[in-house]
Amino acid sequence: MTATRPAEVAIARTREELSAELDGLARAGASVALVPTMGALHEGHLSLVDRAHTLADAVVVSIFVNPLQFGLGEDLSRYPRELSRDVELAASRGVRLVFAPGDGDMYPEGAPIVRVKPGPMGEGLCGRFRPGHFEGVLTVVAKLFGLVRPQVAVFGRKDLQQAALVRRMERDLDLGVRVDVAPTVREEDGLALSSRNAYLSPDERRHARAFHRGLVRADEAFQGGETGRRALTSLVESEIRDHAGLELQYVELVDPETLVPLETAGRGSALAVAGFSGATRLIDNVLLGADAPDPGVGRPTSVERAR
Ligand code: PAF
């Protein structure tokens, strides 16, 4: 990557530095779009940045590997941390400010005692396999909203459950941030971009394509008239079963906004899958039907409601 960093990109490592930068943006009358990340930026994150530019005057990217959302035995210690590369990439896409706090800046009093509970929407899908994960995600996202005070925040649809939960948290708690959900960016062979793809060996990477292939087969079947949950999920399961290196955790048909399980698919229903290729956990999903809207589009956030 040969991108050069434009002079106007700023890096805030502390709350004080963040405040000073945000004051500058406020004085200039700039609206702010936040793209929350855990770093190891890839084209998927950068597409969120591009989208954020269409929604506000200035784009802020947060980079924080949030210990609260990693369970025991998960990859917290080996999660890729590449700040200077991330800053170069963010700058090359016109990001105004990178907020990259340390644990002590994000959690000055240690692990927070008061946290955001996801409730029943956090119990199914990935929540079944990652206890405490979404509580950690919602807690840090609420803190980021409070620290950065953006007008809009952009999340990726690959993390379907996370996006639905953040939208719901925003409405339930009236956080005053418009939550935008952007389409998944894929490699040419369909694999959804993820920072965790970096863990895959070439063989695991090749096998991992089956997750998306299964979803495509199911989507084709849906477009051909198949709407039954069992038939659609079986198509994904059989694609994954053909690969010795893959282990399936779940394939589920759900409403993309409420995450309620469905027996019959309609246009825009989500088929979500999670599993392992080797030791790497991967997730993916498709909204059935070619022009399906993004999850959450149907219901306004608290900001849209107030207009
Ligand atoms: O999607 C992620 O990278 C993280 O879950 C998020 C939203 C940045 C919170 O830590």
The confidence score (pLDDT) of residue 301 equals 63
* d(C-alpha 139, C-alpha 36), whole Å: 13
Q: Residues 91-136: pLDDT tens digits?
A: 999 999 999 999 999 999 999 999 999 999 999 999 999 999 999 9
SS3 of residue 270 by DSSP: strand
Q: Which two tokens stand for residue 292?
A: 């399906």
* d(C-alpha 283, C-alpha 182), whole Å: 16
Ligand 1 pocket, residue 52 CB under 6 Å: no
The confidence score (pLDDT) of residue 222 equals 98
Domains in the chain and their CATH numbers? 10-185 (3.40.50.620), 195-287 (3.30.1300.10)
Contact 289, 267 (CB under 8 A): yes
Ligand 1 pocket, residue 68 CB under 6 Å: no
Q: Would residue 45 show up in a list of annotated catalytic residues for this protein? A: yes
Ligand 1 pocket, residue 140 CB under 6 Å: yes
Give the atom of ligand 1 at the shortest distance from the alpha carbon of 66. Answer: 10
Strand ranges across the sheet with 32-37:
10-12, 97-99, 58-63, 32-37, 152-156, 178-182
Which residue has 């105004």 as its token pair?
96
Strand-pairing partners, residue 271, are 253, 286
- Closest-CA residue, ligand 1 atom 2, reads 37
* d(C-alpha 78, C-alpha 224), whole Å: 43
The confidence score (pLDDT) of residue 298 equals 46
Strands (DSSP E) contained in the chain are 10-12, 32-37, 58-63, 97-99, 152-156, 178-182, 246-254, 270-277, 280-287
Give Cα separations from 153 to 32, 263, 297 (angstroms). 9, 32, 14
The confidence score (pLDDT) of residue 307 equals 57
**Local confidence pLDDT in tens for the 307 residues of the chain:** 444 445 479 999 999 999 999 999 999 999 999 999 999 999 999 999 999 999 999 999 999 999 999 999 999 999 999 999 999 999 999 999 999 999 999 999 999 999 999 999 999 999 999 999 999 999 999 999 999 999 999 999 999 999 999 999 999 999 999 999 999 999 999 999 999 999 999 999 999 999 999 999 999 999 999 999 999 999 999 999 988 899 999 999 999 999 999 999 999 999 999 999 999 999 999 999 975 555 444 456 666 566 5
E strand or H helix at 50: helix 43-53
The confidence score (pLDDT) of residue 292 equals 52
Which residue has 């990726």 as its token pair?
156
The confidence score (pLDDT) of residue 174 equals 98
Burial class (CB in 10 A: 0-12, 13-18, 19+), 78: exposed
Amino acid at 218: A
Give the atom of ligand 1 at the shortest distance from the alpha carbon of 37. Answer: 8
Amino acid at 291: D
SS3 of residue 183 by DSSP: coil
230 CA to centre of ligand 1 in angstroms: 31
Give the atom of ligand 1 at the shortest distance from the alpha carbon of 141. Answer: 9
Buried b (16+ CB within 10 A) or exposed e, 34-61: bbbbbbbbbebbbbbbbbbbebbebbbb
* d(C-alpha 252, C-alpha 8), whole Å: 45
Contact 104, 16 (CB under 8 A): no
Q: Residues 50-98: pLDDT tens digits?
A: 999 999 999 999 999 999 999 999 999 999 999 999 999 999 999 999 9
133 CA to centre of ligand 1 in angstroms: 10
- Of 42, 45, 207, 212, the active-site residue reads 45
The confidence score (pLDDT) of residue 143 equals 98
Ligand 1 pocket, residue 159 CB under 6 Å: yes
The alpha carbon dihedral of 227, 228, 233, 234 has a sign of: negative
